[in-house]
Amino acid sequence: MHSRSRTLWIIAIALVVIAGALLYPATRARLGHWASGIAPESVQHHVHTLTGPQPEAWVRRIEFPKGELTSRHMESLVDEPTATSAHFRARADFLPPGRVSLRPHKHIDDELIVPLEGELEVLLTDSHGPWKERIGPGKFVFNAANQPHGLSSSSDKRASYLVFKWEGRNPKPFEAEVRSDVLNFGKAHRHHLKDPPERFEADTIFEGPTRHLGKLHSHASTLMPGAGYPPQQDDMDIAMVLVRGKIETLGEQIEAPAMFFYPAGHPHGLRNVGEEPAQYVVFEFHGR
């Protein structure tokens, strides 16, 4: 009998402790965040105290220049430090029809090039030496830091592409695991639509450490009409390029081609508000 009473007292005390924890405002707030899929404010505050104020999350439709281009045109999209990069830059480049070349060069930044229209001939360098390849929409280029590379256009049509460049807060002197290469995300997008599609599909394109990042990750996603996910926070910077369809994010509805930028610690969600599948490629920039 005495043993049973002691057990009941232990259970009662445990229930009181649990009830008190649930009634404590901070605990309720955390549980609310977990249920909604959004990390607590302390996550965002922690990111900010580590790296200083972050740029705002934003979404922007890529507007092609009107009229005929006679020279290279560039539009800056972001140019500032972030949680994972000492310096992060993104821009849209537009090349006029005809022969346009950017001479072989190298720089300390890692770099991504994502074609939007037209055709480019890219020069890359890996452990086997320099090589060239023609690319268009559905592919992108990763140029590893300090590796010579170049780009040219010889089409009778305009060529447009996005450029991402970044310098890490703690760059490593060793050669990166992710080597300079041309990656095909269009193949994954086509595969997503072959069979009766799921509401959401994603395929990893590549991932691994670079000189400036603990990990660079990319995946291609297809989102069916009405599908999406609720707001969430991540501890890495994320850039997304919408190549097909219409998406709602950050309170805006926007059609392809468009770019989304979600700095670490900023809540973001996504929903397909169009009548056709939405397809996009994601780049995650994980710091060290």
HEC states along 34-66?
Answer: HHHCCCCHHHHHHHHHHHCCCCCCEEEECCCCC
Assess whether pLDDT exceeds 60 at residue 223.
yes
Greater model confidence, 38 or 188: 188
Assess whether pLDDT exceeds 80 at residue 161.
yes
pLDDT of residue 97: 85
**Alpha-carbon gap, residue 1 to 212, rounded angstroms:** 67
Sheet containing 200-208: order of strands? 58-61, 258-262, 237-244, 278-286, 215-223, 200-208
pLDDT of residue 65: 85
pLDDT of residue 38: 37
pLDDT of residue 44: 53
pLDDT in tens, 247-260: 999 999 999 999 99
pLDDT in tens, 53-95: 577 888 999 988 888 888 888 999 989 999 889 999 999 999 9
Contacting residues for 24 by C-beta, under 8 A, at least 6 apart: none
**Alpha-carbon gap, residue 247 to 72, rounded angstroms:** 30
pLDDT of residue 25: 36
Assess whether pLDDT exceeds 50 at residue 170.
yes
pLDDT of residue 187: 93
**Alpha-carbon gap, residue 15 to 182, rounded angstroms:** 59
pLDDT in tens, 226-273: 999 999 888 899 999 999 999 999 999 999 999 999 999 888 899 999
